[in-house]
């Protein structure tokens, strides 16, 4: 009897430390995945899964802590943990970003598709924003082979937290060797539409691997695809040369300006990745977000592609002639934006 009571007490304490909240699209009541909850220091407290659900650990933050509820396709919400937990369902209002220009189709049969837009990437190390970059980028898609051919970074900014990196080198010297030097734009090689391009006769439910959790939501105007490769409930452990990586989250989400998910209707792509990396001496928590928001499409024939891509620049450096980011301000998480030019210093090349 005592053992039964003790088990129930432990179970109550464990479940009482967590509270479930669900995020829904205000216009169609569909669940919204990849919603991030930031605190004021820029730490990602939690993200919503493919069902729009987060399970917040109550003892991680206090009830009166200010939080940013952020998703790039919706208006940001500001509330305390107490206010958040008082609502089991949080309705998010879609943003009114309508910068998409008319698709330009060439007179001749097109061979390539140029997709232009705004990208941003940022990474957190041990829950602290370590680096950030954004810019205007052009992707060139080969419509015959359905592969990314080239890309061109027109403008860009790079920020880094030098103080954090200095402390890491001092306290966790082995950890620094685990990290790459730069965070690059979304490269489309992981872009899940490639599956559909290469398998014209298959529907998305047939393409989704049994190890993935795939969700497709659509209405008359829009559609969204969410793939969760790994989740905290279904992590992946990778061991290589004394380094162990436990992947807790790997999520890709795509939005379309149509009820059918086609490349010509692409609106945005978001990727979130989090892992724990450790060797015998050091351990770090690593998080990466990469986003791309389409501004316009243009079809090109072979001659146009050749002339357009003569001077491509694939180098990510700080290089801009105007404040391009002001037009895309709503896509930058406030908790991250508040650190730019402060804790995160701009890197001049």
Q: Residue 246 corresponds to which tokens in the numbers above?
A: 């436990």
Question: What are the start and end residues of each CATH 2.60.40 domain in the chain?
Answer: 2-92
pTM score, two decimals? 0.86
Q: Buried b / exposed e across 230-246, counting CB within 10 Å, b at 16+?
A: bbeeeeeeeeeeeeeeb
3-state secondary structure of 164: helix
Pairing between β-strand 18-25 and β-strand 89-92 as defined by DSSP bridges:
parallel
Contacts of 269 (CB under 8 A, 6+ apart): 186, 191, 252, 253, 254, 255, 291, 292
3-state secondary structure of 206: helix
The torsion region of residue 5 among left (phi > 0), alpha (psi -120 to 50) and beta comes to alpha
Distance of alpha carbon 297 from alpha carbon 291, whole angstroms: 17
If you ran DSSP here, which 8-state letter would residue 261 be given?
Answer: -
Pairing between β-strand 66-70 and β-strand 18-25 as defined by DSSP bridges:
unpaired
3-state secondary structure of 241: coil
2-92 belongs to CATH 2.40.128: no
Distance of alpha carbon 285 from alpha carbon 154, whole angstroms: 32
**Tens digit of pLDDT at every position of the chain (349 positions):** 545 554 444 444 344 556 889 999 998 888 999 999 999 889 999 999 888 999 887 556 777 888 999 998 899 999 998 898 888 899 999 887 654 555 666 656 788 999 999 999 999 999 999 999 999 999 998 888 777 888 999 999 999 999 998 898 888 887 777 676 556 777 665 554 544 545 555 555 565 555 556 777 777 778 888 888 888 988 999 998 788 999 999 988 888 888 777 777 888 999 999 999 988 888 899 999 999 999 989 999 898 999 988 888 888 899 999 999 999 999 999 999 999 999 999 998 7
């Amino acid at each position: 009897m005592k053992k039964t009571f003790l088990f129930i007490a432990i179970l109550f304490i464990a479940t009482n430390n967590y509270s479930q909240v669900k995020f829904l699209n205000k216009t169609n009541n569909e669940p919204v995945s990849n919603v991030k909850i930031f605190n004021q220091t820029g730490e990602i407290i939690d993200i919503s899964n493919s069902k729009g659900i987060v399970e917040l650990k109550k003892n991680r933050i206090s009830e009166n802590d200010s939080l940013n509820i952020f998703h790039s396709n919706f208006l940001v919400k500001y509330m305390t943990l107490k206010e958040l937990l008082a609502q089991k369902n949080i309705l998010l209002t879609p943003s009114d970003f309508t910068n998409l220009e008319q698709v330009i189709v060439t007179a001749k049969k097109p061979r390539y598709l140029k997709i232009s837009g705004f990208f941003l990437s940022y990474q957190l190390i041990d829950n602290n924003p370590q680096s950030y970059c954004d810019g205007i980028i052009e992707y060139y898609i080969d419509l015959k082979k359905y592969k990314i051919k080239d890309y061109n970074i027109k403008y860009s900014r790079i920020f880094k937290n030098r103080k954090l990196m200095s402390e890491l080198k001092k306290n966790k010297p082995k950890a620094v060797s685990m990290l790459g030097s730069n965070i690059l734009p979304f490269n489309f090689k992981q872009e899940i539409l490639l599956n559909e391009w290469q398998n014209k006769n298959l529907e998305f439910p047939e393409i989704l691997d049994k190890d993935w959790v795939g969700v497709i939501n659509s209405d008359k105007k829009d559609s969204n695809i969410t793939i969760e490769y790994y989740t905290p409930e279904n992590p992946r452990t990778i061991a290589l040369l004394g380094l162990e990586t436990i992947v807790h989250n790997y999520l890709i989400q795509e939005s379309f300006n149509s009820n059918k998910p086609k490349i010509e209707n692409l609106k945005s792509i978001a990727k979130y990745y989090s892992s724990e990396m450790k060797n015998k001496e050091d351990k770090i928590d690593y998080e990466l977000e990469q986003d791309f928001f389409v501004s316009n499409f243009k079809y090109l024939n072979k001659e146009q592609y050749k002339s357009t891509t003569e001077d491509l620049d694939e180098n990510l450096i700080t290089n801009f002639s105007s404040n391009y980011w002001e037009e895309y301000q709503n896509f930058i998480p406030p908790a991250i934006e508040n650190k730019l030019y402060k804790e995160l210093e701009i890197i001049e090349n």
